[in-house]
Amino acid sequence: MTPGTEIPEVAGVLSREQVLQTAKSIAAVQQADGGVPWPEGHVDAWNHVECLMALTVAGLTEEARRGYDWLVRHQRPDGSWPMKILDGRAAQPAGESNHAAYIAVGVWHELLVTGDEAFARTMWPAVRRALDFVVDLQTPRGEIVWQRGPDGAAAPYALLTGCSSIHQGLRCGVRLAERLGDPQPEWELAADRLGHVVAAHPEAFADKSRFSMDWYYPVLGGAVRGPDAHARVAGDWERFYVPGLGIRCVSDQPWVTGAESCELVLALDAMGDRDRALRVYTDMQHLRHEDGSYWTGWQFVNRRHFPNEQSAYTAAAVILAADALSGATPAAALFRSVTTPAPTGSPHCGCHPELTPS
């Protein structure tokens, strides 16, 4: 454990001891090569990074560093990771843009918590390759398509949740670049354009509106803030929020999930709605297992855990939300601090007719 680490606690909800127990439940499933898998056994870079961030918050730095080493070893020359890695090999070889972008969030978070700039410098080449891969998938309008296939072909569409997360990744990458003395202005421009499309152009994305992530992720990723964020959350609150249980994963199913609930907590905290953030965080604690891990979800008509599993990524979201609510670490404001300075359209988005190419 990192000396002097202050482990989060949320008064009346989770103690420091319980948060540490939850972090240890993540470490317990970490593979010998450093990967943190889904319950099914595969590893994807996004959820893996989220778990490393949670380990860092709880002071389990050695385990987190093994996970970052896993990222370096499995990154491909183009900067991406296979969508799914099983037993050290690509089970699904396509490279997702949001998976690649999240390494920047993780490394910036790790630097904020530990202050270890030397480690950030060792990770910098991997971050640069990853974000260059991401920016190369940006369309003229500004959205970033969701993957590049093994044949090198870019996907024909973009995803709102993924692009919202990428927006945060680019913002963190820009800050990391400035801290390390290697500015990347093209990433900042890409983030500006992407943030504008996320906030103002729903037509740019495939329709996944039945998923709660498409509801709150534009707020979580920092592209939508202020009155627009409050209006967005209010607009679908009753469609997704289930009092006493958390939030639905999808609007048309009686199924609440812990990871989505805690991500909503982070989004609510980022927009200053602490009361509802605490309410949702308290609600979802029914998913806590006696060993400190968390069930993935609860089907509240059948009254059964579904799937019948505890997931490391759910435990990670619980820890990151605890940090945001408690302000325990120097990275507690990570999700609050990522915002779009000003809406920046492109000549191709249609918002500025005088700039639109003829």
Contact 309, 39 (CB under 8 A): yes
Contact 19, 58 (CB under 8 A): yes
Contact 214, 160 (CB under 8 A): yes
pLDDT of residue 350: 78
Under DSSP, the state recorded for 158 is: B
Residue pLDDT, tens place only, 114-140: 999 999 999 999 999 999 999 999 999
Task: Provide the β-strand partners of residue 205.
Answer: 158
Phi, psi of 32 (to 5 degrees): -60, -30
- Asked whether residue 5 is domain-assigned, the answer is no
Please work out, in degrees rounded to the nearest 5, the angle formed at the alpha carbon of residue 260 by the alpha carbons of 257 and 261. 80
pLDDT of residue 344: 62
Q: Which CATH number characterizes residue 183's domain? A: 1.50.10.10
Residue pLDDT, tens place only, 32-83: 999 999 999 999 999 999 999 999 999 999 999 999 999 999 999 999 999 9
Count of domains forming the chain: 1
- Asked whether residue 244 is domain-assigned, the answer is yes
- Asked whether residue 273 is domain-assigned, the answer is yes
- Asked whether residue 351 is domain-assigned, the answer is no
Pairing of strands 147-148, 255-257: unpaired
pLDDT of residue 348: 77
Cα–Cα nearest to 236, from 265, 261, 216, 218: 216
- Asked whether residue 254 is domain-assigned, the answer is yes
User: Beta strands of the chain (E only): which ranges?
Assistant: 82-86, 89-96, 147-148, 241-242, 246-247, 255-257, 297-299, 304-305
Walk along the chain (358 residues) and give the pLDDT tens digit of each residue.
554 469 999 999 999 999 999 999 999 999 999 999 999 999 999 999 999 999 999 999 999 999 999 999 999 999 999 999 999 999 999 999 999 999 999 999 999 999 999 999 999 999 999 999 999 999 999 999 999 999 999 999 999 999 999 999 999 999 999 999 999 999 999 999 999 999 999 999 999 999 999 999 999 999 999 999 999 999 999 999 999 999 999 999 999 999 999 999 999 999 999 999 999 999 999 999 999 999 999 999 999 999 999 999 999 999 999 999 999 999 999 999 987 655 566 777 878 655 555 4
Amino acid at 319: I
Under DSSP, the state recorded for 305 is: E
CA 336 vs CA 101, 109, 266: distances in Å: 18, 13, 8
Cα–Cα nearest to 241, from 290, 282, 200: 282
Q: Specify the residue for token string 């002071």.
A: 59
Q: What tokens does 222 get?
A: 């920092």
358 vs 347: CA distance, rounded Å: 10
pLDDT of residue 209: 97
Question: Domain of 50?
Answer: 16-345
Q: What tokens does 140 get?
A: 């003229």
Dihedral Cα 263, 326, 242, 335, nearest 10 deg:
-20
CA 106 vs CA 65, 90, 127, 156: distances in Å: 11, 22, 10, 28
Q: Specify the residue for token string 């799937």.
A: 307
- Asked whether residue 65 is domain-assigned, the answer is yes
Under DSSP, the state recorded for 303 is: T
Q: Specify the residue for token string 């039945």.
A: 210
Contact 295, 22 (CB under 8 A): no
- Asked whether residue 1 is domain-assigned, the answer is no
- Asked whether residue 2 is domain-assigned, the answer is no
